[in-house]
Amino acid sequence: MSYLEEMYGSISRLAEHLFPQPYTGELVELCDAALARIHSQQAKIDELMLEYCPGEMTPEQVENYAKHQVVANDAVARAVTSTGKRLVREMQIQVEAAHK
């Protein structure tokens, strides 16, 4: 469990004891929204770090990033693969032409 999730649990429990029932729901919704935003921002940070400075990522960041990746459906995967292969081949042709 991450530090943020532990804090969220503490805030939720505290809210249940301190606030009347109608306010507890609103506070929990605010906490949910804040936690979702924090997770979204951390995902963006991890994505940028993976692209620009992967060596500075912690093992936890890499693991968290990897666990949130999804497999594209077959049609998308084939399209990406064929486009990638075509681009690689075009780059190889350009490099070969430059060395002639």
pLDDT at 24: 63
Q: What pLDDT does residue 20 have?
A: 63
3-state SS, residue 16: helix
Q: Tell me how far apart the alpha carbons of residues 15 and 31 are, in angstroms, rounded to a whole number.
A: 10
What confidence score (pLDDT) does residue 99 get?
76
What range does the domain containing 85 cover? 71-100
Q: Are residues 56 and 37 in the same domain?
A: yes
Regarding whether 49 and 33 lie in a shared domain, the answer is yes
Alpha-carbon distance 39 to 12, whole Å? 17
Q: pTM to 2 decimals?
A: 0.49
Confidence (pLDDT) at 1: 58
Asked whether residue 77 falls in the same domain as residue 55, the answer is: no
The Cα–Cα gap between 82 and 88 comes to: 10
Low-confidence ranges of the chain (pLDDT < 70): 1, 3-4, 19-25, 71-72, 77, 80, 84
pLDDT for the residue 98 = 77
Q: How far is CA 51 from CA 1, 23, 56, 88, in A?
A: 26, 42, 11, 19
Rounded Cα–Cα distance for residues 11 and 19 (Å)? 11
